[in-house]
Structure 1
Amino acid sequence: MTNYPIEMFNYHAWANQTILGRIKELPSSVLSQEVNSSYPTIAHALNHIYVVDKMWYLILTGMEMREALQECMRHADILDSADGYAERFAQLSEQYREWFRSQPDLEQSILLDNPFAGIRQTSYSEIVLHVANHGSYHRGNVSTMLRQLGHASTMNDYALYWYQEPVGSAS
């Protein structure tokens, strides 16, 4: 039986590496070229995805949201290479996967104190689905930024992921 939050996280990790693979094919300067978009550069957008993924990982592993935000903002350095981002994302994805292996129940609920939105009960699975959705949104920003800079992006839709991953590898 497919565990959909884990499946969506695996898609998220694959999609991050897929778009980074495309960026690696381009001149390294593409990361720091300024565009008129949600973020000033592709590096800023990638950094945002990474920092938010890291923040949610820290929350899933027991840190309060306020503390996780502060921790991630202290280490929110912009990198100058796609390889650096690929390595960062790969390491964090493995940390998530280790956490998944240790969790008997992703429907377990925690009290989330979001300084921007308030307090609410939420499940681990909701957080994981949010991580995947947030990444999809911002990979769309990156695709648009690439086009603004005169480069094609690459497909990284969930439906394409179905055909890229060996059957049974995601759960």
Structure 2
Amino acid sequence: MKHNALQLYDYHIWANCRFFERLKELPDNVYTKEIQSVFPSIAETLVHIYTTDSIYLGVLQENTMDEIQASIKQAQEKTKNKGLEEMEVLYAELAEMYKVFFNSQEDMDKPITPEHPAFGLLETHLSELVQHIVNHGTYHRGNLTAMIRQLGYPSVPTDYLIYLYDRQATN
């Protein structure tokens, strides 16, 4: 049976993919149009999710703070001025890196102690950080939904329950 954290991460990928599919259906200018919201555009929201997911892969891998800081700069360079389709490719590549990492883990509940520059050491478990990554993505997909609606278009439902129904229908 698949560990719950891995199923949650599969949901995260599924929900991101649904947003990319929806955004590709909308006029091209929707992606970069500036709006009054949490982020100034849909593009910038997607960059934020990608950058944060990149950071947390390093945290899960128990990289040093210097390595994590370098990954932030790499993510910023990779995403600079990228269009929707290019961002979709970056997301897919990052999801594959996560899957490679997860496949190398024997214990998704193993304890880890990441260190945050402002908050210090955190005693937690790998699976709890995966849940954090998924929660972070869910929060910002909510921002995306609001932004798409603010621009006058319907969004796409990405609730976890819909993922479960979708997964059941495809199995």
TM-score (norm 1): 0.91
**What corresponds to 1:117 in structure 2?**
119
Q: Distance in 1 between matches of 2:120 and 2:168?
A: 40
**What corresponds to 1:81 in structure 2?**
83
Which residues of structure 2 form unaligned runs of 5+? none
Relative contact order (C-alpha < 8 Å, sep 6+): which is higher? 1
C-alpha contact 2:42 2:147 (8 A) present in aligned 1? yes
C-alpha contact 2:50 2:75 (8 A) present in aligned 1? no
Distance 1:168 1:152, change over 3 A: closer
Q: Distance in 2 between matches of 1:145 and 1:134?
A: 17
Matched, 1:107 2:109: yes
Alpha-carbon shift at residue 29 of structure 1 (Å): 1.3
Q: Which moved more, 1:124-133 or 1:113-122?
A: 113-122
Give 3-state SS (helix, strand or coil) of 2:123's partner: strand
TM-score (norm 2): 0.91
Alpha-carbon shift at residue 117 of structure 1 (Å): 2.2
C-alpha contact 2:22 2:155 (8 A) present in aligned 1? yes
**What corresponds to 1:155 in structure 2?**
157
Q: Identity rate of aligned residues, in percent?
A: 35
Matched, 1:67 2:67: yes
Q: Distance in 2 between matches of 1:38 and 1:70?
A: 26
Matches within 5 A, 1:1-171: 1-65=1-65, 67-76=67-76, 77-166=79-168
Amino acid at match of 2:62: G
Alpha-carbon shift at residue 82 of structure 1 (Å): 1.9
Q: Distance in 2 between matches of 1:31 and 1:63?
A: 33
C-alpha contact 2:145 2:155 (8 A) present in aligned 1? yes
Report the aligned-residue RMSD.
1.8
Question: Where do 4+ consecutive residues of structure 1 move more than 4 Å?
Answer: 166-169
Q: Distance in 2 between matches of 1:99 and 1:61?
A: 8
Distance 1:79 1:24, change over 3 A: farther
Alpha-carbon shift at residue 116 of structure 1 (Å): 3.0
After superposition, give the CA deviation of every residue in 1:83-104 in whole Å (9 maximum; x if it has no partner): 1121111111111111111100
Distance 1:33 1:97, change over 3 A: same
